[in-house]
Amino acid sequence: MRDAVKTQLLLLAVALTVTSCSSGEETKPVERDPLAPYAATGKTKTFDLTMQDVLWEVGPSALYNGIGYNGQIPGPPIEVNAGDHVTIHLTNKSSEPHSIHTHVVKFTKGNDGTDEDLVKPGETKTVEWDAVYAGTFPYHDHGDEAHGLALGLFGALIVHAPEEAPANEHLVILSDFDQNAYQQLPGVADPVTGEFPDGGTFHDGGHQYMHTINGKAYEDAVPPFKGKVGELSRWRIVSIGQEFHTWHIHGHRWLDEANKVTDNVQLGPGSYTTFEFKEDNPGSWLVHCHVPSHMEGGMMADYIVSP
């Protein structure tokens, strides 16, 4: 008799559990472990990069003696999907040894891009990464790193997550140039008199053309970022070089990595972040680094939002 009662009570408990689970209550989705790598896609993305000398136009009458991946500063974005295998054929046509190194994604010691992995002038080396983590990361020279970064050997690795929503994407790479490497500058004003040595009236700060956005300086050279009301606006920001920078967007706000409202993010050298917001504010907005001398040195541009 007792066994029969126990059986009935057990059946009742099971029935109540089933009823509770099917009562229409919503269950929270299980959040993905951010440290869990994405599964391999079985696809290999191949890129050819050549490190070569370039006379880079940072702005009107501002010509820089640099070295770029594929002859451009910054180098071309390396854009893949999470889980892809990345193969880079890296050729050095410059006069010094250089390399390529990236962050977060997985690679073996022989693909790290440090001293023993440098590509000598005239050589080609194959570099392989596994992009198993999504995000926006820098890639850059890791030989004489400070020298290579100042010359222009840097770019962005963009790894898209499979659950990523479609968005208007903006890539921003903040970098610092060496004023002594310019072949030509439009002229720096005398700090006492305010006069230019050549009689010009262009950008006159002591940091003139030292700080760049995507390899360019000031609104007359940095292509404006463009948006449209109603779209999802995604910003991928990389800071590379010697200085701390911020990225400030006038007239907008978003949630930072601490889930707090902000309109300005701070990034140290080699730092990176990705954020997004729903665009809701038309107009021509200033975007810039909020360090005053960096803004005066070139880190300012326009963000044009159409209705």
Give the full edge-to-edge strand order of the sheet including 101-102. 78-81, 154-160, 135-140, 101-102
Residue in the structure block whose two tokens are 């004489």: 144
Tokens of 215: 């390899």
- Mark residue 7 as left, alpha or beta (left: phi above 0; alpha: psi -120 to 50; beta: remaining): alpha
- Residue 137 near residue 82, CB atoms below 8 Å: no
Q: Taking the mean position of all CA atoms in its chain, how far away is CA 66?
A: 20
> Domains of the chain by range and CATH?
44-164 (2.60.40.420), 176-306 (2.60.40.420)
- Mark residue 283 as left, alpha or beta (left: phi above 0; alpha: psi -120 to 50; beta: remaining): left
- Residue 128 near residue 112, CB atoms below 8 Å: no
- Residue 197 near residue 190, CB atoms below 8 Å: yes
Output DSSP code: residue 183: E
**Would you give per-residue pLDDT tens digits along the chain (307 residues)?**
444 434 443 433 434 343 434 344 455 666 888 889 999 999 999 999 999 999 999 998 899 999 999 999 999 999 999 999 999 999 999 999 999 999 999 999 999 999 888 999 999 999 999 999 999 999 999 988 999 999 999 999 999 999 999 999 999 999 999 989 999 887 665 666 666 655 555 565 678 899 999 999 999 899 999 999 999 999 999 999 899 999 999 999 999 988 999 999 999 999 999 999 999 999 999 999 999 999 989 999 999 999 9
